[in-house]
Amino acid sequence: MSVTTEHVPVLVEKVVSLLRPCLGVGTVIDATAGGGGHLWALAQEMQKLIPVGKQRCRLIGIDIDATALRFAQSRLSDFGCTFIREMAGVSSPVGCNQLSMILLIQANYVNMAEVVERLGISPVSGVLMDLGLSSYQLRPERGFSFEADGPLDMRFDQQSSKPTAREILQEASINDLYSWFRVYADEPMAGRISRQIYAARKDIRTTGDLVKVVEKVIPPRRLKKTLARIFQALRIVVNNEIENLRLGLKAAIRLLMPGGRLVVICYQSGEDRCFKEMYREHRGELLLLTRKPLYPDADEVFANPRARSARLRAVEKTEVAQDKRNNNYVWRRE
């Protein structure tokens, strides 16, 4: 099945508005580049702000999904875009002036500090993390969607040796399943669903098989929302998303220059909790730019229903850092 519609990024105007002060000051990283929708909007804005010819290596797109990055490369080709598939091939900093305006890197955002070091693209003035799925990942052969039958995979990087969703289900205990569905999906019927899946786990090979198992215990009127939560929880487990998010947020804060901004778009409560934990931990050096999360308006949700659960939060790294040796606040430029 081919993709018939390109991925529609969410909250684009708010993302561009928050990151506009970062453009041209340093490198802006989209740590979840996906199909390149936000990068395209940021590149458009950067062209308005910076004279042509001086926009060297100021936008970096990182994603673990090579398929999504290939779509992004096509989408961003008019701006000058290079796709680096293997960071291992970059042995030393190459310098911004030798690179394209936009670089796409296949990597886990947990490793964004290594990407910055190897490419020599400091300082980092902005980081965006849009934690939602890309439309390209919803094709049946990827296993993320319950709306069409396909292999029960769910790995962002299909070339990795990590276990698929099917393999994880084969080995999971009832307690594992219950914990995943309660913690990562807030599923009220987690107990009943866990028992049903555990009993049938050896026969679950495809997304369609999993749907049929869940159908046995969930009434039709609640089935779609329940399936969305179950598939979400499994996807999080397969890709170790929550732990990776914690590490990625810490990496972003460490990389940002004073005045740099971090913008995060969350879609479920676990992701939102990670952001709040990060903010509390680094409160002495962060200015909260969004006292309340920003949501898509009614027009955006109508045009793109998948945006309805998105919530945006943003912080700015200040020049005030806490001196942990004496608990005083001191001014320092990192």
User: Same structural domain for residues 83 and 201?
Assistant: no
**pLDDT cut 90: percent of the chain above it:** 72
pLDDT tens across 52-111, in order?
A: 656 566 899 999 998 889 999 999 999 889 898 877 656 667 666 667 889 999 999 999
Q: What is the CATH number of the domain that holds 212?
A: 1.10.150.170
- Predicted confidence band at 310 (pLDDT cuts at 50, 70, 90)? very high
User: Same structural domain for residues 58 and 196?
Assistant: no
pTM: 0.88
User: Same structural domain for residues 118 and 71?
Assistant: yes
Report the pLDDT averaged over residues 131-148. Answer: 85
What's residue 98's pLDDT?
67
User: Same structural domain for residues 43 and 129?
Assistant: yes
223 pLDDT above the threshold of 50: yes
Query: Per the structure, how many domains does the chain have?
Result: 2
- 3 within a domain of the structure (yes/no): no
User: Same structural domain for residues 296 and 226?
Assistant: no
User: Same structural domain for residues 35 and 86?
Assistant: yes
250 pLDDT above the threshold of 90: yes
328 pLDDT above the threshold of 90: no
Residue 177 belongs to domain spanning: 157-238
- 144 within a domain of the structure (yes/no): no
User: Same structural domain for residues 71 and 102?
Assistant: yes
What's residue 120's pLDDT?
87
pLDDT tens across 232-246, in order?
A: 999 999 999 999 999
Report the pLDDT averaged over residues 112-124. Answer: 91
Report the pLDDT averaged over residues 10-36. Answer: 95
User: Same structural domain for residues 91 and 110?
Assistant: yes
User: Same structural domain for residues 95 and 174?
Assistant: no
Inter-residue contact 76 to 40 (CB < 8 Å):
yes
- Predicted confidence band at 334 (pLDDT cuts at 50, 70, 90)? very low
User: Same structural domain for residues 202 and 256?
Assistant: no
What's residue 89's pLDDT?
59
pLDDT tens across 150-206, in order?
A: 999 999 988 888 999 999 999 999 999 999 999 999 999 999 999 999 999 999 999
- 175 within a domain of the structure (yes/no): yes
Q: Which residues are annotated as a binding site?
A: 36-38, 63, 109, 130, 137
pLDDT tens across 254-290, in order?
A: 999 999 999 999 998 899 999 999 999 998 899 999 9
User: Same structural domain for residues 183 and 248?
Assistant: no
Average pLDDT in the chain = 88
User: Same structural domain for residues 270 and 219?
Assistant: no
- 146 within a domain of the structure (yes/no): no
Q: Which residues are annotated as a binding site for S-adenosyl-L-methionine?
A: 36-38, 63, 109, 130, 137
Range in 18-22, 28-32, 42-46, 95-99 the model is least confident about: 95-99
What's residue 92's pLDDT?
63
Q: What is the CATH number of the domain that holds 99?
A: 3.40.50.150
